[in-house]
A = this chain, B = another copy of it.
Amino acid sequence: MDADNRDIIDRGIDLLARKLRIRDELGDAEIAALRGAVSSIRRVDAGRVSVRSGVPLTESNLLVDGIAARYKDLADGQRQIMEVHVGGDFIDLHSFLLGRLEHNIGALSDITLLIVPHDNLRAITEQHPHLARMLWLSTLLDAAMHRERILTLGRRSAVSRLAHLFCELQVRLELIGLAEEDGYKLPIVQADLADAAGLTAVHVNRMLKELRDRGLVTFRGSRVTIHDRAGLCAVAEFDPSYLFLDHHPR
């Protein structure tokens, strides 16, 4: 493993650690254990499937760079994105105990992943109970985001769904230093937004226009620019408490 690769590993672990340390202390030994659990690096081109549904897995992926998504398809070709993932997300940590995934993980942009063998994760649960709880926590945060999406898809209007997505990503990208005050890079297309929001691409296009016309947010050229954050949050009924940003012993 050359120096370049070590930098990528350090970057991935740093992003994950940053997110975990928002929620609880993490010792240097625990960080070292995480870094030591990484076996290799993988790159996936935009549009490719990274992990395929149903395939038995013996390792998990930690996203370092780019945008990935969990999604499922229906028989008629409709697609639904469950969660949009950003740097530092331990995307398919779920497969550690599930043994496989019941959904696909796709690259919405070019992405870089750290590979973590399940054996190494099991060792962490045996030797580092607190770190194990923190990894468990990170899957619970996924579940909490899933629940918020259930609320969004079940009960919110189309504009509100998009507004909510933009608000959530603003907060999550701020946590890892990838958002500016007024927005962030988001290298995906409108069809991806549609698949995340449970809408058609055509309707997403119209609702984006509405959000633009209302002076709330602009999505253009792979960038989200938030003009009126309070207004956007209001339209979305966005309350970040479901992201569990409080710091206490776990």
Residues of A within 8 A of B (CB): 54, 70, 72, 74-75, 78-80, 82, 94, 97-99, 102-103, 122, 125-126, 129, 132-133, 136-137, 139-140, 142-144, 146-151, 153-156, 197-198, 237, 241-242, 244, 246, 248, 250
Contacts and interface: CB of A to CB of B under 8 A. Distances in A.
A150 B244 CA distance: 21
A136 B122 CA distance: 12
A145 B164 CA distance: 22
B143 A133 contact: no
A191 to B, nearest CB: 14
A147 B82 contact: yes
21 contacts: A72-B147, A74-B237, A75-B237, A82-B151, A94-B140, A97-B133, A98-B137, A98-B140, A98-B144, A99-B244, A99-B250, A102-B244, A125-B133, A129-B129, A139-B140, A143-B143, A143-B146, A146-B147, A149-B150, A150-B150, A154-B197
B139 A78 contact: no
Nearest to A197: B154
B198 A241 contact: no
- The winner among A70, A136, A154 for most chain B CB atoms within 10 A is A154
Given A97-B133, A150-B150, A102 B140 contact: no
A155 B74 contact: yes
Given A102-B241, A126-B129, A146-B150, 17 more contacts: A70-B147, A72-B151, A78-B155, A80-B155, A82-B147, A82-B151, A97-B136, A98-B144, A98-B244, A99-B246, A102-B244, A139-B139, A146-B146, A150-B150, A150-B153, A153-B198, A155-B198
